[in-house]
A and B are shown apart, each in its own frame.
Chain A
Amino acid sequence: MNAIVVRDLSKHFIPSKKERRKGKNKNQQIKQKKYNKNAIVRAVDHIDFEVKSGEIFGFLGPNGAGKTTTIRMLTGILKPTNGDILIFGQNFWNNPIKAKQIMGHVPEEANVYMDLTGLENLSFIGELYGIPKKVRISRAEQLLKRFELFEKRHLKSKKYSKGMKQRLLLCMALMSNPKILFLDEPTSGLDVQSSIIIKKLIKDYNKNGMTIFMTTHDMDVANEMCDRIAIINKGKIIGLDTPENLKKLKQEYQAIDFYFTEEIKENELENLNSVKEVKKIRDYYHIIVHDLNDGICEIIEYIKSRHLKVKKINTYEPHLEEVFLKMVNGGDTD
């Protein structure tokens, strides 16, 4: 079953006079430079996708691509200009309060209540979800222990570090035991310890059946955690698949770096069937191949036949970041 179905979703903004004067959003499709009330910013422009129940769905895109606007529409913060959002088959806007009851949301910027303690923040959110007092206190304590914040539970949140605030935000989102968890840049700007804790716990909750929808700039996080990834640019989805399938779009960049003990003839290597191109870079040869496995086998055969000695080999697989850049920049990965 699909946890989220998005059909023809759009969000258009009409820039305020102030924004038009400042020239803000000029990179977001405002063609008209002078005052024009019809100058519309298409933050999200007719997008469609589905998120399967129990998967981790990544949403990648450059700044201003429409990631946060999409997540805000999915969590009921912004009303779409048009389109439908179905949560477990039910239209979100037919009963937004019921739909929000099964969602948890971690926004990009830390927005805990600074004058409340960690425990008070969790208890407050629990109350907004209608969780009985006894349950919410025990659940809050359980979450604080799990996220390594229990010792600081009576400390005001303004005294928390950024990583601690982010963990507290995640605790707040998990207070209601949501079926769908929305994470907007969950590991952005965090210390290594907090980032590891958050990634591990997101995976744990996902294993337990929780559907995760996350936006991130971090390609390693997306590659490591997401079952499927959508790439959004200028309000439109330009790619949607598993990380492995997306990487295949960059197959021509499969390469092997060979460090030999002596000079070799580049043209001999280029004559091999699986080799596309050979470049000598400093003390190694960067060999671009059609297929990584075939390339390695054939080059090793060549090495054996010439009795060459190899110091080091590095394989070079397409990286998600390159796929992302290729899609966003139309091929220019530099």
Chain B
Amino acid sequence: MEVIPIKEEADIFLGESNYGKILTQVKRSFAITKKDLKIYYNKGPVVIQGFLFPLILFFAFTVGRKIIPIYIISGLMAMVLFMTSTSIGPVVFPWETRAKTLERLIACPISIKTILLGNIWSSFIFGCIFSMVPLLLGVIFFGFWMSINILIIILGILVASLAFSSFSLILSVPPTDTPASTMILTILIKFPILLLTPLFMPINAAPYGIISPLTYFTDIINVGLGENSVFGPYGLLLDFCILIMFGFVFLSLAFVLHSKTLQKRFRG
């Protein structure tokens, strides 16, 4: 078989516009997304954090309490979205560091931001798909199809899923090759956020909930299911703005911190 002839040297360093460079990197990040979805969806920590924890917590929060259907669905959606969109992100980096596949990725013509973006997309898709399950249950069992504003709900899921996916990558910043280490950190940070959020109850019943980004997503879903926002007439806008702000901060932090710790993963 013939060896494929290689490119001319002159072609190698041809210029490309900044827009072209960004578009190329975004396209390549989708390849990482596909890979993550293929490989990591059935890994133990992902299954535990993405499926089992929300299920167990749902029963822990709701059994024996009289809760109105809207709060059941919004609480469940918030919990599932938060847990699933933050389940892949923290384990991918330690896993790939251990398997030495991260080294291969870094040697490819992609930046660390492209890798992070690819990880975020996969968490995002995970979160979006699984948070729709409680909504469907609500439509089937509580007849929400009469009153829901699907546009608000979908927009809320998209924005919140992106924000929490970015957040999940901050949890994998420590340059360890042991997924269990980041799992401990993840649980230590995620559970207080869940406990701070007024899930399965009116938001104004827990005023300290305003420090949790999940509260704003819960409010969006409540509005989408026919309730009024607890933050006043512009509450919905406020919810979106705060979630976008959180997302931006999380994403920037993930980019900066991972760039700083990346080199430490390849020592020894």
Hey, which bits of chain A sit against chain B, CB under 8 A? 1, 13, 16, 24, 53, 72, 75-79, 88, 90, 95, 97-98, 100-103, 105, 107, 109-116, 120, 124-125, 127-130, 139, 142, 145-146, 172, 177-179, 204-205, 207-210
Question: Known contacts being A76-B107, A125-B108, A179-B6, is A111 close to B101, with CB within 8 Å?
Answer: yes
Contact assessment for B109 and A111 in the assembled complex, using a CB-CB cutoff below 8 Å: no
Binding site secondary structure of chain B: helix
A177 / chain B contacts, CB cutoff of 8 Å: 4, 6-7
Complex contact A130–B5 (CB within 8 A):
no
Q: Which residues of A contact B105 (CB under 8 A)?
A: 128
A107 to B105, CA, bound (A): 11
Inter-chain contact B39/A101, CB cutoff 8 Å? no
Residues of A within 8 A of B67 (CB): none
> Footprint of A on B, CB under 8 Å?
1, 3-7, 9, 12-13, 21, 24-25, 27-28, 31-32, 34-35, 38-39, 99-101, 103-111, 263-264, 266-268
* Additional pairs, 12, CB under 8 Å, beyond known A128-B105, A209-B5: A13-B267, A72-B266, A75-B107, A76-B106, A88-B9, A100-B107, A101-B109, A113-B101, A120-B38, A128-B109, A139-B4, A177-B4
The number of inter-chain residue pairs (CB within 8 angstroms) is 108
Which residues of chain B are near A78, meaning CB under 8 Å?
263, 266
| Contact indicator B12/A103 (Cβ below 8 Å) | no
Select A116's contact among B39, B263, B267, beta carbons within 8 Å.
B39
Whole-angstrom CA separation of A210 from B264 in the bound complex: 32
Contact A88:B21 (CB < 8 A) given known A111-B100, A116-B39? no
Task: Assess A98 versus B100: contact at CB under 8 Å? Given A103-B107, A179-B6.
Answer: no
- Report B-chain residues with C-beta under 8 Å of the C-beta of A112: 101
Closest to A209 in B: B6
Please give me the 4 A-B residue pairs with the lowest Cβ-Cβ distance, nearest first: A111-B100, A127-B31, A100-B109, A105-B107
CB-CB under 8 A from A179, the residues of chain B are 6-7, 9, 12
Which listed residue (A79, A142, A210) contacts B263, Cβ 8 A?
A: A79
